[in-house]
Amino acid sequence: MSTENEGTAVPPAPSAPPVPVDAPAASAQPQPPAPHTSHPAPGSPEAPASAPEAPAAPPAQAPAPVTQAHQAPQDQPAPQGGEAPRTPTAPDASWPPPPPPGTPAQTPAYGAGGGDGFGHGDGPGEGAGGGAGGWGAAYQQPAPKPGRGRGGLLAGVLIAALVAGGLGGGLGYTLARNNDGNGSTTVSASDTGGSVKRDAGTVAGVAAKALPSTVTIQAEGSNGEGGTGTGFVFDKEGHIVTNNHVVAEAVDGGKLSATFPDGKKYDAQVVGHAQGYDVAVIKLENAPSDLNPLPLGDSDKVAVGDSTIAIGAPFGLSNTVTTGIISAKNRPVASSDGSADSKASYMSALQTDASINPGNSGGPLLDAQGNVIGINSAIQSTGNGGFGTGQAGSIGLGFAIPINQAEFVAQQLIENGKPVYAKIGASVSLEETTNGAKLTEQGVGGSDPVEKGGPADDAGLKPGDVITKLDDRVIDSGPTLIGEIWTHKPGDEVTVTYERGGKQHTTEVTLGSKVGDD
């Protein structure tokens, strides 16, 4: 499986559109330059293109480079035109969030045609255009190029730091999509090694215990297209936790199945899905009575350097186990759907160098004791990969949703069928040029940039304020703020540090709530 790096673009960083901080609604985005060869990334087609012949990681000194715009499984035309990216505003009271700002134009994402994100697509769905709406405003996207079927999950476009200093502390934008099924190979089930005994504290011992509780998920939409992902047993009732983008194709009239390592296959139904969090719960039909839920760890207690074990079905190779370490914590990552009603996901992710590839999406990231500490969701990659699909593969930059957040979301989905989001009640700019998250001066469609009587208003925040910290977390951008807010629950009280008129202030904000993705 080669992961050749062809057509990688490293365009200048575009400015990002303003968006809401809580449960934001789809907003138009900036229009970064599009890669000139086979890997356009989502974003608006208006930005000038800059595509170096030889793909390479963005220079470390660049403040906000587009490191890899690889996501498309096939060549796609780069958008024309050289207009400067627009910076629309978006009300945070609306939903869903827009695709990540600054994502290169034309990279499909979850569900978009095209195929290399964790879970989606085959034809290249386009990134959001630069409409003037905020979260919830429809984006404008070029028509997707016809593509092949889908069949695997994960691929990433990571736009480097929003501030000087490369990736450190910057906001990563990762667009996850599905494998290209027509280019993949059918591989028979592997031997999980259950007959070979190993000590419980070894990687082999952890894998032997965890594999029987991990499933390969096949999702098929009503149009016959679908993808492959991973999930794990959450409880004895047959609930399986995975990524939203893994099952998105099957939500409306589609089909789902989950296959265990022993070959037993079960039909399944979507219990609930959260697009903003990129978490979903499905339930097995006629679930077996001997299910063993994977034990959940505490992602807040994970340390950089801790060992990690990832389980999934990379490129359709079920029951694959890879290892690594936690290479960073609290990495701001945004992932987006390239479809017309695209909705972005934001996370403060665990970063790992364990090999994560298309098909790992939704699978468990375990610690050395076999406890789930995260859900593998996205990767950064240098460009298209091999395996006959032109998909990108692992370069040691994988991102997982912390399990403490995912567990809360999963419980909400099981109990209510809908996610609950914490919100601050204000519109925030997505511009990458700010050293913080700026509350916009005006809302979208006549709405108030700071919701009257909302959490931000009650705390004394005003349009134009720039939030620089949320509790002890440094906030360098609007998307970073959104991801951090979503690590909290409605009703939590947070300390907000902000700048106004050149002076620094602090205030206490009690977070509000938003139910559902609509």
pLDDT tens-digit readout, 6-47: 232 333 333 334 444 444 443 334 444 444 434 443 443 444
Tell me the pLDDT of the chain averaged across its residues: 70
Q: What is the pLDDT of residues 189-226, one digit of tens each?
A: 455 555 678 887 899 999 999 999 999 999 998 888 87
pLDDT mean over 256-266: 96
Tell me, what's the pLDDT at 358?
86
User: Which of 395, 471, 479, 377 is CA-nearest to residue 171?
Assistant: 479
**What contacts 427, CB < 8 A, 6 or more positions away?**
18, 19, 20, 21, 89, 90, 91, 92, 134, 439, 440, 443, 444, 447, 449, 450
- What CATH class does 420-515 carry? mainly beta
At residue 444 the predicted structure's pLDDT band, cuts being 50, 70 and 90, is low
pLDDT mean over 386-404: 73
* CB contact at 8 A, 31 and 103: no
Q: Which of 123-132, 317-326, 360-369 has the lowest mean pLDDT?
A: 123-132
Give percent above pLDDT 70 in the chain: 57
Tell me, what's the pLDDT at 194?
56
Q: What is the pLDDT of residues 282-332, one digit of tens each?
A: 999 999 999 999 999 999 999 999 999 999 999 889 999 999 999 999 999
Tell me, what's the pLDDT at 155?
24
**264: pLDDT strictly greater than 90:** yes
DSSP SS3 for 498: strand
**438: pLDDT strictly greater than 60:** yes
At residue 336 the predicted structure's pLDDT band, cuts being 50, 70 and 90, is low
Tell me, what's the pLDDT at 404?
97
| Calpha distance 167→144 (Å, rounded) | 30
Burial of 286 from C-beta contacts in 10 A (0-12 / 13-18 / 19+): exposed
Q: Which of 256-265, 306-315, 340-349, 503-512 has the lowest mean pLDDT?
A: 340-349
At residue 85 the predicted structure's pLDDT band, cuts being 50, 70 and 90, is very low
Tell me, what's the pLDDT at 447?
81
CA dihedral defined by 446, 452, 457, 460, rounded to 10 degrees? 90
pLDDT mean over 129-144: 27
Tell me, what's the pLDDT at 192?
56
**424: pLDDT strictly greater than 70:** yes
Which amino acid is present at 371?
N
Active site residue ranges: 245, 278, 361
Tell me, what's the pLDDT at 167?
27
Tell me, what's the pLDDT at 249?
86
pLDDT mean over 406-432: 92
| Calpha distance 100→245 (Å, rounded) | 15
Give percent above pLDDT 90 in the chain: 45
Terminal CA-to-CA distance of the chain, rounded, Å?
40
pTM above 0.75, yes or no: no
Beta strands 345-352 and 214-220 are: unpaired
Q: What are phi and psi of 245, to 5 degrees?
A: -70, -15
**149: pLDDT strictly greater than 50:** no
| Residue 74 neighbours by CB distance under 10 Å | 22
**177: pLDDT strictly greater than 80:** no
Domain regions of the chain by residue span: 203-284, 420-515
Q: Where are the beta strands (DSSP E) in 201-289?
A: 214-220, 226-233, 239-242, 255-259, 265-274, 279-284
Tell me, what's the pLDDT at 463?
94
Tell me, what's the pLDDT at 161?
21
pLDDT mean over 442-449: 78
Q: Which DSSP state fits 137?
A: B
Tell me, what's the pLDDT at 450?
93
User: Which of 27, 175, 15, 30 is CA-nearest to residue 93?
Assistant: 27
Q: Do domains 203-284 and 420-515 have the same CATH topology?
A: no
CATH tag, 203-284: 2.40.10.10
**337: pLDDT strictly greater than 80:** no
At residue 90 the predicted structure's pLDDT band, cuts being 50, 70 and 90, is very low
**496: pLDDT strictly greater than 90:** yes
Residue that is written with structure tokens 């629309």 in the block = 88
Question: DSSP string of 309-362?
Answer: EEEE-GGG-TTEEEEEEEEEEEEEEEE---STT---EEEEEEEE-S---TT-TT
**113: pLDDT strictly greater than 70:** no
| Residue 457 neighbours by CB distance under 10 Å | 17
